[in-house]
């Protein structure tokens, strides 16, 4: 443990930050894979493959800096509207990535979780998601959360239904429902809310991503397409985050 802390201090020092300036939870909308490929006259799937390589870079940096949770928006429920060839290629990539990375996640003490509904996922992908989740469940380092077949509105709807069922069963009193009750029924139950939300490719949208959880997250928009963002992009975003004054609705004491 002491060795890991020394590594974290050293990694933070490399970018001029103290460990307590690092966000606990970083959430990323990985945008621009297809445009990255088209710009190079490559099939869109090659952009997604390059995007998977970028994931490895960012996971490594987050782990070294001491980030507790990294959540990646990988495939939304709206993405089922894409061409079937692209969907199939993406599902094959997920299967390939999880199969290839499972042992490395264990070796690096990284816990894997999936956020999103299980329906519509190919059985092979679903089986591998479950296997990797169970195989890394004991890991205590970085949590890598993959938002796969995810929709924030669906997530909130599912939470409301679950709470309503408990009210009907007499397990919860309706007038005792609080914000924490809702949070405990979201896919992210048990995880801290994101401190930093990154979107690549210069897009200025939230795109139905963690709408409840990002209420107080700092937003960072990167111009690079996701395959080009990688380690240096993540470091820039974290440094920008550290410069911000997070007030949570309170007054800035330095200006009071």
- Mark whether 31 is an active-site residue: yes
DSSP string, 24-88: SEEEEE---HHHHHHHTT--HHHHHHHHHHHHHHHHHHHHHHT-SEEEEEEEEGGGGGS-HHHHH
Candidates 189, 246, 238; CA nearest to 217 is 246
Residues 6+ apart with CB under 8 A from 37: 43, 44, 45, 46, 47, 48, 50
Indicate which residue of 31, 33, 149, 195 is catalytic: 31
Considering the candidates 79, 158, 193, 208, report the single residue annotated as catalytic: 79
Distances (CA, A) of 78 to 32, 204, 256: 16, 18, 45
Calculate the alpha carbon distances from 210 to 20, 155, 213, 233 in Å: 24, 9, 5, 22
**Which residues form the catalytic set?**
31, 79
């Amino acid at each position: 443990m002491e060795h890991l802390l020394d590594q974290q201090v050293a990694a933070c020092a490399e970018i001029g930050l103290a460990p307590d300036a690092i966000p606990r939870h970083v959430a990323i909308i990985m945008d621009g894979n297809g445009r990255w490929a088209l710009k190079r006259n490559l099939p869109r799937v090659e952009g997604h493959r390059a995007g998977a390589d970028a994931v490895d870079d960012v996971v490594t940096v987050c782990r070294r800096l001491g980030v507790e949770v990294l959540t990646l928006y990988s495939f939304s429920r709206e993405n089922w509207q894409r061409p079937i060839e692209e969907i199939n290629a993406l599902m094959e990539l997920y299967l390939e990535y999880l199969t290839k990375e499972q042992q490395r996640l264990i070796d690096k003490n990284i816990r894997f979780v999936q956020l999103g509904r299980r329906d519509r996922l190919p059985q092979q992908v679903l089986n591998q998601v479950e296997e990797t989740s169970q195989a890394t469940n004991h890991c205590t380092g970085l949590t890598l959360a993959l938002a796969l077949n995810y929709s924030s509105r669906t997530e909130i709807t599912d939470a409301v239904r679950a709470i309503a069922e408990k009210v009907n069963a007499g397990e919860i009193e309706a007038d005792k429902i609080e914000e924490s009750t809702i949070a405990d029924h979201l896919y992210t139950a048990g995880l801290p809310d994101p401190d930093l939300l990154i979107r690549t490719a210069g897009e200025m949208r939230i795109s139905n991503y963690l709408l409840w959880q990002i209420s107080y997250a700092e937003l960072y928009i990167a111009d690079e397409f996701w395959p080009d963002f990688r380690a240096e992009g993540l470091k820039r975003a974290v440094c920008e985050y550290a410069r911000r004054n997070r007030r949570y609705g309170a007054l800035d004491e330095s200006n009071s």
